[in-house]
Structure 1
Amino acid sequence: MSVELTQVTPRLPDGAEKGQDNPAYLNTSIDNLQNTPKESETRHRNNSPEYDPENQDYEMNGCQSAITSAQTAVITIYQENPALIWRIIAIVVFVLYMGYFAYAMYCQFGDEGSIRLLVGTVLAVLLIVVNLVWDSIKAPFEACGKALADNARRMKIVRWVLYVVCVIAIIIILVIEVAIPTPKNLISLAGLAAFIFLCFISSRDPGRVDWHPVFWGLALQFFFAAIILRTQWGYNGFKWLGDRITEFLAHTDAGSKFVFDNTSVHFFAFSIMPVVTFFSAFISITYYLGVMQAIVKVFGRFLSFCLGTTPAESLNAAGNIFVGMTEAPLMIKPFLDTMTISELHAVMTGGFATIAGSVLGAYIGFGVPPNHLLSASVMSAPAALAISKLMCPETERTASTSEDYNKMKKGQQRNLIEAASEGATTSIGLIANIIVNVIAFLALLAFVNATLTWFGNRVGVEEFTFEFICSYLLYPVAWFMGTQPADCRRVAELVGVKTFTNEFIAYKSLQELLQNRQTFLNYTETYGYKDEWYWDDQAVVLTQWNMTLKRGFMEERSEVISTYALCGFSNVGSMGILLGALSALAPSRKKDLASIVLRAMIAGNVACFLTACIAGLFFREF
């Protein structure tokens, strides 16, 4: 018995020709039948008849007709004057808020909550005013800058005056704030000089280095660190800001406990990772509202003014303070195809030298001080530009102009709900990437350590591990950053783990050291500092508690230096992530990006080391 198979021709609607209104005939490959949601939505809208309330098949009564006419009138007015209507809404909201603000200050002033409300309102108003009136007031500033730029001799005089004033201020601060009260901190200054020298001799073109961005990038770091690490008000201000961020991120627990119930069972997965989702949704909302673009524009203009860098690379550096190395380039996507090699290098270095705001909360969950993480993110932005321009100086003519600041677009979402949902959905890939990388690198690290330990045991060397090798190999790096000699091996170990695995594992390792020091402090408060404990190589034995702190602990200064040195995505694994993301945004520059990615990763690491040097230079216990 045989069965004959015949081809069945799909039946077409009446009046339809072959290939029309039938996707089976439109493409030869079934893969081509798949459409993105946006394409499907567009086709649906194009094929749907336009709604006309005046032309319906049924008759409306008087009430329905009046309501329909009113709706049509309102919609027409809005479509003709959308900007005016939203401006009126914004003014009304602003007036209502200022009324609330005045009454709140009148009712309760002087407590922490009133200060928080005052500071937040002042900063928000300043940001709004700057973005609203800048186009109106920028003419005299641009004219002044153009006049200076056109007059080379005058520009040179102004530059040198600023250089001299800045150097004098730096010397005075170093003598008064560092050399006299804490002379041992000056070792960090030697480390700063050493790192700069090494970057200079390894530059792609040492003879073409423009020292202006290098000088001012380091100067910005210097003054910023002097404020937050040496002044009581600066330290308290950033500590307060860090506490507010911790308080804000703590709201993640509401969602985590609802989904996972007991979040302490698997702390990393159930407590740390949900923070990434929450913060990602929040960042997406700020993008939709245009708040993030406004903040980045202000920081970008400031960096460009101080360092003389182009708008595109300055905006990217500013964006990296708040978002990750793959998200920040989205703001400058239109410029990537025409960027110079030096500008591309600056973009990549900025990504490697900073961390994303979405993972900031995760590191805070490890017990890392939030004020130092926050200041490290801000300080690394000018450091990244400085080191990038030192290791890969500009040798081409840039196509960037001052108008590039206005080319950042708002989010394409249609409302806040979609923005929040899209941000949360975006975190799925980020969390998956974090988890699989942590699993993979921890497993590989365990395998490497087991292998090295086996080889070490063959010749009588115990505890011969990857961390052990890094603790000696990177000892000079830790020492030059200003780490106490007793802690240099531990800091070198952390830097090695961060560079060759990732910063998550390094901060997790730092968490153990932070907890060990807190345990030791609790112990000494009970039994005193002498005779009740002792060092056993790198471990600390607490005799009264019969406890051994296996990896020991570090001094607070070494902990702070480690926090700054680890605060960046500059590791081997991130090279592939950033290269893939930028290649997707600018396929024509893939070869250029591949040729500089390793150099940019090294530059990002050095930028983190410079930030750690500055932190070690100004560190003081409060």
Structure 2
Amino acid sequence: MSLLQLQALAGLPLLCLLAWACGGFRRGVRARVVVAGLGGQLLIAAALLHVPPLRAGFALVGNAVNALATATRAGTTLVFGYLGGGPLPYAELTPGGSFILFFQALPLVLLVGALSAVLYHWRVMPLVVDVLARGLRRLFGLSGACNLSVAANVFVGMVEAPLLIRPWLATLTRAELFVAMVAGLATISGNMLVVYATMIAPVVPDAAGQLLTASLVSAPGAILAALLMRPERETPQDTPAVEAPRIYDSTMDAIVRGTADGLQLLFGIMAALVVFVALVALLNGMLEPLGGLTLQQVVGWVFWPLAFAMGVPVEDCATVARSLGVKVVVNEFVSYLQLAASGGAGLAERSRIILTYALCGFTNFASVGIMVTGMAAMCPERRAEIIRLGLPSLVAASIACCMAGATVGVLTVP
């Protein structure tokens, strides 16, 4: 094992200690939780990265993503013409200058939203989620509703997953509620996974498979980070028969409503990008006269030790930390976009892969607002509790994403 791998291996317990410290060193942390969390992350990552048949599945996932991108390009070309990726009516003077994010990359959300709804209606997604939920229940001993929400977060967003367990939200213990919130921020949804994989494919090998692995690895990591900060002190209600409810009346209804949900997400992403990039630019404009600082640099200093703990070489730590800072201050979309636009930001391939895993989560202030608003509407009787847990869940989810980065750092040879 190389020094960088040992660095990442030592970083995992340090990240656990950080989560425990952020929770105030509370008593009641069970050894089972720590062993299951760390062991689950390492076993899942090792299987997906080093077992040949599973590793070969990366290529299939990548092919599926390429097929979705090609199919979406056909639709955007018809509707938007050259703005959507069709033949240009003029000479492109600047390489890449014809690429328009809103018209060419983001519409992929619409197609994936429709397909996700169909797979849900056909009970394919609920079956996979149920298998994951049962595995998490054996590892951590949480209630069926909590495990279902965590497992669903591997494929859907931080509001959609709690929606699947809406009837049981009020019965979750405080620790389980916190686990559900952390898992929502520490993973990404399937539609965004496809978008990000398309964006970073030129600079990250097997991008789609890597992102899927990252989201799976983050599930036990999110539970671990959450229970280190808020240990379980109550007895979870046993809900073993929790089943994902039927939402759509037919396949056509799933396509129509899935597309509508995708459209809402598409405009939400566009609005968030415009507003938050503008706000960061405004704050940077106020900070720069004070010493040439930017908000990303300030947050990047905070993340430098975390980048080192993930097994990133010292010479790459500043770049990785800045990217993590952008993720928290703006969102992970901009971080992935910058990684792709910079051709890898001058990072070694191993550092790019670690960064890919660490960025794979909705850990930003805007997502916290979206999640808290959505969950409070679903369970108004626990609104005050959900709001209080909002910012702590961002801290725990950020640590969980760094755990995913450290896990791949342990398993990736320099």
Q: TM-score, normalised by structure 1?
A: 0.61
Contact in 2 for aligned 1:249/1:279 (Cα 8 Å) = no
Indicate the larger mover: 588-597 or 467-476.
Answer: 467-476
Query: Could you tell which deviates more after superposition, 287-296 or 204-213?
Result: 204-213
- Whole-Å separation in 1 of the counterparts to 2:405 and 2:294: 26
Superposition map of 1:341-490 within 5 A: 341-368=174-201, 369-404=207-242, 407-411=243-247, 413-456=248-291, 464-490=293-319
Tell me the residue number matched to 1:508: 337
Q: CA deviation at 1:233?
A: 4.6
8 Å Cα contact 2:200-2:337 kept in structure 1: no
Amino acid at match of 1:338: T
Answer yes or no: is the 8 Å Cα contact 1:204–1:393 preserved in 2: no
Residue 296 of structure 1 aligns with an amino acid whose one-letter code is V
Q: Please point out which of 576, 581, 590 is paired with 2:374.
A: 581
Aligned residue for 1:250, secondary structure, equals helix
Measure how far apart 1:231 and its partner are.
4.6
SS in structure 1 at match of 2:393: helix
Asked whether the 8 Å contact 1:479–1:485 carries over to 2, the reply is: yes
Would the aligned equivalents of 1:230 and 1:620 in 2 still touch at CA under 8 Å?
Answer: no
Q: Quick one: which of 90, 100, 105 aligns to 1:272?
A: 105
SS of residue paired to 1:190: helix
Give the deviation of 1:450 after TM superposition: 2.7
Partner residue of 2:6? 186
Verify the 8 A CA contact 2:116 2:258 in the aligned structure 1.
yes
Compute the RMSD of aligned alpha carbons.
1.8
TM-superposed CA distance for 1:204, in Å, is: 5.6
Residue identity opposite 2:285 in structure 1: A
Aligned letter for 1:422?
Answer: R
**In 1, Cα distance between equivalents of 2:277 and 2:306:** 24
2-side partners of 1:309 and 1:218: how far apart? 17
Is the 8 Å Cα contact of residues 243 and 371 (structure 1) preserved in structure 2?
no
CA-to-partner distance for each residue in 1:122-151, whole Å, 9 max, x for gaps? xxxxxxxxxxxxxxxxxxxxxxxxxxxxxx
Contact kept? 2:129, 2:151, Cα under 8 Å? yes
Q: How far apart, CA to CA, are the structure 2 residues paired with 1:237 and 1:427?
A: 27
Q: Is the 8 A contact 1:213 1:309 kept in 2?
A: no
Q: Map 1:172-251; keep pairs closer than 5 Å.
A: 179=1, 182-203=2-23, 206-251=26-71
Once the two structures are superposed, what CA deviation does each residue of 1:60-89 show, in whole Å capped at 9, x if it has no partner?
Answer: xxxxxxxxxxxxxxxxxxxxxxxxxxxxxx
Q: Is the 8 A contact 1:349 1:385 kept in 2?
A: yes
Gaps of 5+ in 1: 1-178, 457-462, 518-551
> 8 Å contact 1:246–1:361 — kept in the other structure?
no
What is the alpha-carbon distance in structure 2 between the residues aligned to residue 225 and residue 392 of structure 1? Answer: 25
Distance in 2 between the 1:300 and 1:226 partners? 20
Q: Which has the higher contact order (CA 8 A, sep 6+)?
A: 2
* Deviation string, structure 1 residues 505-528 (Cα, Å, up to 9, x no partner): 111111123x2x5xxxxxxxxxxx
Aligned position for 1:616: 409
CA distance in 1: counterparts of 2:48 and 2:17, whole angstroms = 27
Q: Aligned to 2:142, what secondary structure does the other structure show?
A: coil
CA–CA distance in structure 2, aligned partners of residues 492 and 243 of structure 1: 31
Task: Give aligned-pair identity as a percent.
Answer: 32
8 Å Cα contact 2:4/2:313 also seen in 1? no
The CA deviation string for residues 76-113 of structure 1, in whole angstroms up to 9 with x for no partner, is xxxxxxxxxxxxxxxxxxxxxxxxxxxxxxxxxxxxxx
Counterpart amino acid of 1:436? A
Superposed displacement of residue 292, structure 1: 1.6
Quickly say closer, same or farther: Cα 1:289–1:588, change in 2 above 3 A: same
1:583 is paired with a residue of what secondary structure?
helix
Q: Do the aligned partners of 1:272 and 1:361 also contact (CA within 8 Å) in 2?
A: no
Say if 1:229 and 1:289 are closer, same or farther in 2 by CA, change over 3 A: closer
Q: 1:312 to 1:390 in 2, by over 3 A?
A: same
Aligned mate of 1:604, from 392, 397, 405: 397
SS in 1 for 2:35: helix
SS of residue paired to 2:171: coil
8 Å Cα contact 2:65-2:198 kept in structure 1: no
Question: 2:372·2:386 contact (CA, 8 Å) conserved in 1?
Answer: yes
SS state of the match for residue 317, structure 2? Answer: helix
Letter in 2 for 1:409: P
Measure, in 2, the Cα distance between the counterparts of 1:567 and 1:351.
12
Q: Deviations over 1:141-174 (max 9, x none)?
A: xxxxxxxxxxxxxxxxxxxxxxxxxxxxxxxxxx
Paired residues of 1:246 and 1:364 also in contact (CA < 8 A): no
How far apart, in 2, do the equivalents of 1:421 and 1:198 lie? 45
Give yes or no for contact 1:360–1:373 (8 Å, CA) kept in 2: yes
Q: What is the match of residue 92 of structure 2?
A: none
How far 1:234 moved relative to its partner? 4.1
What is the CA distance between 1:322 and its match in structure 2? 0.6
Distance (whole Å) between structure 2 residues aligned to residue 501 and residue 484 of structure 1:
25
Q: Which residue of 2 aligns with 1:568?
A: 361
Does the 8 Å contact 2:133/2:150 carry over to 1?
yes
CA distance in 1, matches of 2:226, 2:385: 15
Q: Residues of 1 paired with 2:307 and 2:151: CA distance?
A: 28
- Give the alignment of 1:4-15 within 5 angstroms: none
Larger Rg: 1
Q: Is the 8 A contact 1:373 1:567 kept in 2?
A: yes
Determine the C-alpha separation between the residues in 2 that align with 1:312 and 1:597: 20
What CA deviation, in whole Å up to 9, does each residue of 1:531-556 have, x standing for no partner? xxxxxxxxxxxxxxxxxxxxx51101
Contact 2:33 2:140 in 1 (8 A): yes
Contact residue 358 and residue 401 of structure 2 kept, 8 A: yes
In structure 2, the CA distance between the partners of 1:408 and 1:232, relative to structure 1 (3 Å rule), is closer
Give CA-to-partner distance per residue, 1:31-66, whole Å, 9 cap, x none.
xxxxxxxxxxxxxxxxxxxxxxxxxxxxxxxxxxxx
**Which residue type is aligned with residue 196 of structure 1?**
C
Letter in 1 for 2:233: T
Structure 2 counterpart of 1:315, which letter? L
Instruction: Tell whether the 8 Å contact from 1:203 to 1:391 is kept in structure 2 after alignment.
Output: yes
* 1:565–1:608 contact (8 Å) kept in structure 2: yes
Q: Distance in 1 between matches of 2:62 and 2:306?
A: 28
Structure-2 separation of matches of 1:242 and 1:207 = 44
| 2:388 corresponding residue in structure 1 | 595
Aligned partner of 1:316 in structure 2 is 149
- Structure 1 CA distance for aligned equivalents of residues 316 and 296 of structure 2: 14
Instruction: Tell me the CA shift for residue 205 of structure 1.
Output: 6.5
1:284 equivalenced with 2:117 (yes/no): yes
Deviations, residues 291-317 of structure 1 (Å, cap 9, x unaligned)? 221221111111111222221111111
Structure 1 range deviating more: 561-570 or 468-477: 468-477
C-alpha contact (below 8 Å) 2:297/2:325 kept by paired residues: no
Q: Distance in 2 between matches of 1:559 and 1:234?
A: 21
Residue matched to 2:138: 305
After TM superposition, give the deviation of residue 267 of structure 1 in Å. 2.5
User: 2:221 & 2:43 partners in 1: Cα distance?
Assistant: 13
Q: Cα offset for 1:289?
A: 1.9
